[in-house]
Structure 1
Amino acid sequence: MPESTISAAFSLLDERIQRFIWSQRWEALRDIQEQAIPLLVKGGSDVIIAAATAAGKTEAAFFPALSHLLAMKEQGLIVYISPLKALINDQFGRLELLCEHLDIPVWPWHGDISSSSKKRFLTRRNGVLLITPESMEALLCNRGSSVSATFENTAFFIIDELHAFIGSERGKQLQSLLHRIERAVGRQVPRVGLSATLGDMQLASSFLRPGNGPSPVVIKSENSEAELKILVKGYEEPLLVSSKIIDNEDQDYEETTPAHVAAHLFKVLRGSNNLVFPNSRRGVELYTHLLNKMCAMEQVPNEFWPHHGSLSKEIRSETEAALKQKEYPATAICTNTLELGIDIGAVKSVAQIGPPPSVASLRQRLGRSGRRRGEAAILRGYCIEEAVGVNSPLSAELRLDTVQMAAMISLLLRGWFEPPVTGGMHLSTFVQQILSLIAQRGGVTIGQIYSHLCSSGAPFEGLAKDDFMLLVRHLGVKELVTQDSSGLLLHGQLGEKFVNHYSFYAAFNVEEEFRIISSGRQLGTLPVSQMLTVGQRILFAGKTWLVKDINEEQKSIHVVVARGGVPPLFSGASGRTHTVVRQEMRRILESTERLSYFDTVAQRLLDEGRDAYRQRGLAEHFLIDQGGQVVFLTWRGDATNEALACLLRQQGYHAYPAGPGVEVIKGGKSTNDVKVALLDTAFDGIPSLQVLLDGATNLHREKWDWALPESLLKAAYSSLYLDFRGALSWIKNVSAEG
């Protein structure tokens, strides 16, 4: 580093770290590093470092944290917490190079690390510990008596990919683990959060340090992100390519458009590194197969590799290695497993097939592209719509996938993305933490559980004492806990079995899809992100089905063909859409603006959606009469629509959230009857959750939800997925409009 570029922040670093920076021939510190070093080098402060991918966040945290460690009188410890083992492996390689010059040991700790390495760390308890929440959970459970000694000299907790934890059961677990460690060592340990995607900094601050104490200091990079180039291509799937043109449930057909999309991907991606996101594991397998087949037909080396959570570790590692090596180009067809910061090197472009799960997800994915100086980030979008026929659903008429893609890109360009849902009770994680605390301490009193997990600043602060006692008693009924004669809570027969299995340490379930079964034949699988009820109609494989039975334990939905009627809007797609996205979709449908990043077909599809919107008069009317069904178009998020459906079911109707609205089965009533029932809900008050969610299934969304009493299960689900305030607000608005 030339003397002319030496800054005040650089001068604060330990001279050995300064020499390392010189050896790497850095010209200057990054903006985010200049801001972070003065805050962290002295220790004592909670800090959030928010900057784009590859902006130098890791060094912004570790340069000053290591300088602080080197200045400590006693040997200290930095605990780096990552959501991914692969990210730990990457950071180990980066930190080892730096720390070997400092004589500071670096200790990776996860399921693939040898027990001998872990024992060496527990003997020394200094340096840099790289660990996942799950491994930290295991450490507290299995070495509870030594928690205080292990972490007594911790100088910092550094939490990478902070946004991946906020609002999730895993995030609640992490909050609990940090709180329990701080209770064990008798002091607060400074926390540093790193993230590239943080919308609401206040939410991020309250997550990093819950309670009423000083808020973390937030620093953001002032450097502008890379130039962004966008192209969205549209495709229209023919109505039906059928092997048997008969109207029964054995009719099968195949989509032809994915082959055309794959052909374009093959043409534009070959010869460079890229990421392709088809939004499902099935899509990953399909497009990988098509692209591998094209490589074989063209007699060229394969460049296309799969990556999703159901694949073995070895296959995922092969894909990551293919992306890292520089000799041959490689493109990964992946799910969100490659959204986070695993070091796969720079990619030229990101391809998104269909609208992404969220704007935040799209932003995170795009952070992989345009990382080299002077290179633009490139987004290639692919919208696939069905041709419109006589019985096409409203979603096809309005070209909702294309409109949603446009809305998400529009919001991305404006810098908006979804805030996390921070009001979730996450009682599933509370159950796990009770069992973990018992394991750590060899038994606890009811008062100790409440003090550790529910007191001021604790992760479950705010849980009413009556609900707490109801839950603890229910855990006894479930044989997860038992109470001895002295009043000490211990593991029950079932609790001991769970805690002694390695799968206990994860607070979350591996996402499972429901199997769709008709007359004993499995039609396929479907991710379902909302409650289900018997009698509901769903759209699957191009046909409308009536739900006859739901088996939550076996993750199966038994259906029969729905005779007659208009296809429903609900297609079972995974992910939950925010109100701001739906409002932007409506704005785009009411606009005449041409989108410069849409190709001719995508623009035509958008224009067709706008035409259908105008012809149906949807700018003035929110109600669509479809004969046996009524659709209320709210253009609100899924949490509002699902709450609205609950209120209508309380009025005696079969009602279901359906994309940008709610579908209601008339059941012999008139359209006006349904409308009156809707308006009445705004003045009848909100019934209890026990009544509103009566008959609802698929409420077991988190790992330990099965262990909750019914009332708390419904409360936990509602806290995460239902927005009754938004539902009533919408009803009152349309009532006022007449």
Structure 2
Amino acid sequence: MSQNSLAIFDSLTADWFRHTLGKPTAVQDAAWPAIFSGVHTLVSAPTGTGKTLSAFLVFIDRFLAEARSGTLKEELKLIYISPLKSLAGDIRENLRCPLNGIYEEERKQNPSAESTFSKLTIAIRTGDTPQKERRNMIKHPPHILITTPESLFLMLTSQSGKKILCTAQTVIIDELHALIDSKRGAHLMLSLARLDELCAKPLQRVGLSATMKPLHLAAEYLSSDPVTVIAPAMQKKVQLEVTSPWSDTRLLQKDSIWHELAGTVVDLCKGSRSVIAFVEGRAYAEKLAYHVNQLAGEGFARTHHGSLSKEQRFEVENELRNGNLRLLCATSSMELGIDVGDIDQVFQIGCPRSISSTMQRLGRAGHNPDRVSVMYIFPRTATESLYCGLTAQVVRNGELEDSRPPRLCLDVLAQHLVSMAAGEGYDLDDVMAILPRAYPFKSVTREDVKDVLCMLAGDFEHERNIPVRPRLLYDRIHEHVEGDSYSRMLAISVGGTIPDKGLYAVKTENGVKLGEVDEEFVFEARIGDKFLLGAFAWQINSIQKDTVVVAQSSMYGARPPFYKAEIIGRRLQTGIAFGKILGRLSNALEKDTLLQELHQLGLDDTCAQIAFDLIKRQYNATQGLPDDRTIVIEHFRDETGTHQMMVHSVFGRQVNAPLAILVREAAKRHIKTNISCFDDDDGFLLFPYGEYELPEGLLQSILPETARPI
């Protein structure tokens, strides 16, 4: 089978692959024939299985063959779309490996042959691309363009960009799993549908993704035409251990968790070359790096997150790649496929927020298919000890959350309607021809589009006598749309779905950008305060309109900045999986085998004992545990005598938050007072003001017959 898949390549390419990499992986074996045949292809496999080369090698081989025969035109042929700007540079460097290797193979076999290496051009077009390179791209289009969803949208908005794009034949979408559940993915899919209309014929689409499900939905999302799915069964060995950072359970009562945690992390790093510690938040990354460096010395740990400048992130990535950095404290910014070399093991600080992200992080260690991926999970509280064990077991079982692409994204549609108007204009029929080719917009009707166009033309404001300049010019009689300079300015300045968070730039007195901090943090900060950023301490010298000017300082008195972030709750599917395990633990408690069951979840002795005590206390208080078929309702009075009702539900915030609202409204019908409500992934709490008592049966009073599906 492997020899057959290599047979589709030129002998130079096949010889380079055999000499350098040996046999193709199962993914490459299955993907190359499908991609070579020109069909839309979805490649879904774990990290480190050669997905990128499975997508690119067919086209590299084809372009080099055209260069040798003199038929390679100076025009764009392949577009590679990355969700991260930082991935773009990695991909360009990774492409140089096969290109250099094939060139060396060619030189060995025919020393007098003219090199074709320099004839194949690769360019990057992101927000960081200098204007000089962008202008050069217009005069000399690259054969391979590496870009992001937002930059592709901007190119579709401009005439010069469309001139470059119109010759493209193939598009590769990397990290599809990171886009499919968001409006950013919907934005990209509509851009690709417009690209199909722009080019001579619809582009061949190749989607690359980590393990995801359901695959039939991902394939339908990738293209409205038939898609070949490549997802060979691959048994990747994993090792997940829930490890206590406490040497004594009594330390749970003390505020020493980060010091204890840092000590454990340093000990586990001693036998490793490079380690990544993932945390759930930028402030925690800075905090962990600070405590580790206090113990192991400055420079032992660095941080990597979205609020660091690209130069700082690039420096850290290079240090890790070259083996000069022992520990990297990172957020989800390191989940995707940034190449950082060989990682021995991965740490997870606290309970991860989703199963899919845990799998992505786990795949960072033991990157090759034949190596074991090792992750140590460190709980910080008693509750986390239990839920870290539940998460580890669900990961071992391979129970991924199902993808749920958003539909009817009319705000995204509005951006594209303005962008299209910035060109030659269009008819309503043109829009209706494009929408079925983008999965999130298949259900958008002609009337929906008309309503959005009327909104963009200013009808909403005009009905209220509010002066406004139309975003586009809509001829309702002939159903024709045109734009003006204002339309183009809007499309360029507000395109995309990444929100503007109002962050302040952090710069040195010389103007070197170090990163960003939250506006609210700056509001509470004062000149002279110290904070941590990039594992270094900085002192505030001045606060300007949108910039904080700092100077490097000693660590003493520095604190991590805080950031506001959207909290993504546990999926219902994961909550049900947790509930099934909790049901087993409840039965084990009755049979007096609970400790053994907790050890089977991967908890060490200390974590197992902490989780055992937690479950025992909960069971004694409520005579039961919540599970996949049980919601536990607990009525109690706090130390002030206020009556409260706690609803224990494992189904996650996405269920608990709306359910809490319904129960609160039901309670208001019984007691005429304000009722406060707090919800999280594990349930919700209700308490009235005053001496009122919440009645029983509130949950049962909510009738399913009165609900409608959404």
Alignment TM class, shorter chain as reference: 0.7 to 0.9
Deviates more, 1:599-608 or 1:614-623: 614-623
Letter matched to residue 67 of structure 1: D
| Structure 2 residue corresponding to 1:645, chosen from 660, 665, 668 | 660
Q: Please name the residue that 2:541 is paired with.
A: none
Q: Please name the residue that 2:509 is paired with.
A: none
Q: Please name the residue that 1:164 is paired with.
A: 178
Is contact 1:403–1:585 with CA below 8 Å preserved after alignment? no
Is contact 1:580–1:637 with CA below 8 Å preserved after alignment? no
Q: Please name the residue that 1:578 is paired with.
A: 571
1:96, distance to aligned residue in structure 2 (A): 2.6
Q: Please name the residue that 2:32 is paired with.
A: 37
| Structure 1 residue corresponding to 2:647, chosen from 618, 625, 632 | 632
Q: Which runs of 5+ in 1 are unaligned?
A: 242-254, 386-398, 524-570, 687-723, 726-738
Q: Distance in 2 between matches of 1:499 and 1:485?
A: 16
Q: Distance in 2 between matches of 1:633 and 1:258?
A: 29
Is contact 1:166–1:422 with CA below 8 Å preserved after alignment? yes
Q: Distance in 2 between matches of 1:423 and 1:109?
A: 27
> Per-residue CA shift, 1:258-299, capped at 9, x if unaligned?
111011111221452011112111101111111122233xxx
Q: Distance in 1 between matches of 2:262 and 2:432?
A: 55
1:472, distance to aligned residue in structure 2 (A): 3.6
| Structure 2 residue corresponding to 1:192, chosen from 185, 190, 206 | 206
> Per-residue CA shift, 1:191-228, capped at 9, x if unaligned?
1111223132122112111x4x32x1111244421342
Query: In the alignment, is residue 622 of structure 1 matched against residue 632 of structure 2?
Result: yes
> Per-residue CA shift, 1:605-639, capped at 9, x if unaligned?
21012212321123476211134322222321322
Q: Please name the residue that 1:408 is paired with.
A: 391
Q: Distance in 2 between matches of 1:356 and 1:583?
A: 17
Match of 2:303, SS state, is strand
Q: Please name the residue that 2:13 is paired with.
A: 17
Q: Distance in 2 between matches of 1:259 and 1:283?
A: 13
Q: 1:535-574 counterparts in 2 under 5 A?
A: 574=567
Q: 1:50-449 counterparts in 2 under 5 A?
A: 50-69=44-63, 75=73, 77-99=77-99, 101=103, 102=116, 103-125=119-141, 127-143=143-159, 147=162, 149-209=163-223, 211=224, 213-214=225-226, 216-233=227-244, 235=246, 255-270=255-270, 272-296=273-297, 302-326=299-323, 328-372=324-368, 375-385=371-381, 399-439=382-422, 441-445=423-427, 448-449=430-431
Q: Please name the residue that 1:691 is paired with.
A: none
Q: Please name the residue that 2:671 is paired with.
A: none
> Per-residue CA shift, 1:172-204, capped at 9, x if unaligned?
111011000101125221111112231321221
Q: 1:500-511 counterparts in 2 under 5 A?
A: 500-501=492-493, 504-509=494-499
> Per-residue CA shift, 1:447-493, capped at 9, x if unaligned?
544554x4465642213455444444334246574454855555689
Q: Distance in 1 between matches of 2:58 and 2:330?
A: 35
Q: 1:281 to 1:14 in 2, by over 3 A?
A: same
Letter matched to residue 610 of structure 1: I
Match of 1:344, SS state, is coil
Is contact 2:154–2:492 with CA below 8 Å preserved after alignment? no
Over the aligned positions, Cα root-mean-square deviation in angstroms equals: 3.4
Letter matched to residue 636 of structure 2: Q
1:427, distance to aligned residue in structure 2 (A): 3.4
Q: Distance in 1 between matches of 2:665 and 2:385?
A: 34
Deviates more, 1:653-662 or 1:312-321: 653-662
Is contact 2:471–2:490 with CA below 8 Å preserved after alignment? no
Q: Please name the residue that 1:541 is paired with.
A: none
Deviates more, 1:150-159 or 1:120-129: 120-129
| Structure 1 residue corresponding to 2:606, chosen from 598, 601, 604 | 601
Is contact 2:157–2:492 with CA below 8 Å preserved after alignment? no
1:575, distance to aligned residue in structure 2 (A): 2.6
Match of 2:218, SS state, is helix
Match of 1:174, SS state, is helix
Q: 1:584-595 counterparts in 2 under 5 A?
A: 584-586=577-579, 587-588=581-582, 589-590=585-586, 591=588, 592=594, 593-595=597-599
Q: Distance in 1 between matches of 2:374 and 2:502?
A: 32
| Structure 2 residue corresponding to 1:27, chosen from 22, 27, 30 | 22
> Per-residue CA shift, 1:494-527, capped at 9, x if unaligned?
86654343xx343212568999999x9799xxxx
Q: Distance in 1 between matches of 2:502 and 2:251?
A: 30
TM superposition score normalised by structure 2: 0.76
> Per-residue CA shift, 1:121-156, capped at 9, x if unaligned?
434445211111121112112236x62x43344232
1:6, distance to aligned residue in structure 2 (A): 6.6
Deviates more, 1:630-639 or 1:80-89: 630-639
Match of 2:441, SS state, is coil
Q: Which runs of 5+ in 2 are unaligned?
A: 104-115, 462-467, 504-516, 527-563, 589-593, 638-642, 669-674
1:373, distance to aligned residue in structure 2 (A): 7.1
1:105, distance to aligned residue in structure 2 (A): 1.6
Is contact 2:190–2:438 with CA below 8 Å preserved after alignment? no
Is contact 1:666–1:674 with CA below 8 Å preserved after alignment? no
Q: 1:510 to 1:228 in 2, by over 3 A?
A: farther
Match of 2:380, SS state, is strand
1:364, distance to aligned residue in structure 2 (A): 0.2
Q: Distance in 1 between matches of 2:167 and 2:678?
A: 54
Q: Distance in 2 between matches of 1:512 and 1:276?
A: 28
Q: Distance in 1 between matches of 2:417 and 2:250?
A: 51
1:420, distance to aligned residue in structure 2 (A): 2.3
Letter matched to residue 14 of structure 2: Q
Q: Distance in 1 between matches of 2:474 and 2:322?
A: 62
> Per-residue CA shift, 1:338-383, capped at 9, x if unaligned?
0000000121111111111211001001111012576422111111
Q: 1:202 to 1:484 in 2, by over 3 A?
A: closer
Is contact 1:159–1:194 with CA below 8 Å preserved after alignment? yes
Residue-pair matches, total: 594
Q: Please name the residue that 1:684 is paired with.
A: 706
Letter matched to residue 38 of structure 1: P
Q: 1:231 to 1:280 in 2, by over 3 A?
A: same
Q: 1:151 to 1:491 in 2, by over 3 A?
A: closer
Deviates more, 1:649-658 or 1:577-586: 649-658
1:330, distance to aligned residue in structure 2 (A): 2.5
Q: Distance in 2 between matches of 1:87 and 1:375?
A: 24
Is contact 2:236–2:372 with CA below 8 Å preserved after alignment? no
Q: Please name the residue that 1:390 is paired with.
A: none
Is contact 1:179–1:459 with CA below 8 Å preserved after alignment? no
| Structure 2 residue corresponding to 1:461, chosen from 427, 432, 442 | 442
Q: Distance in 2 between matches of 1:594 and 1:419?
A: 27
| Structure 1 residue corresponding to 2:491, chosen from 488, 491, 499 | 499
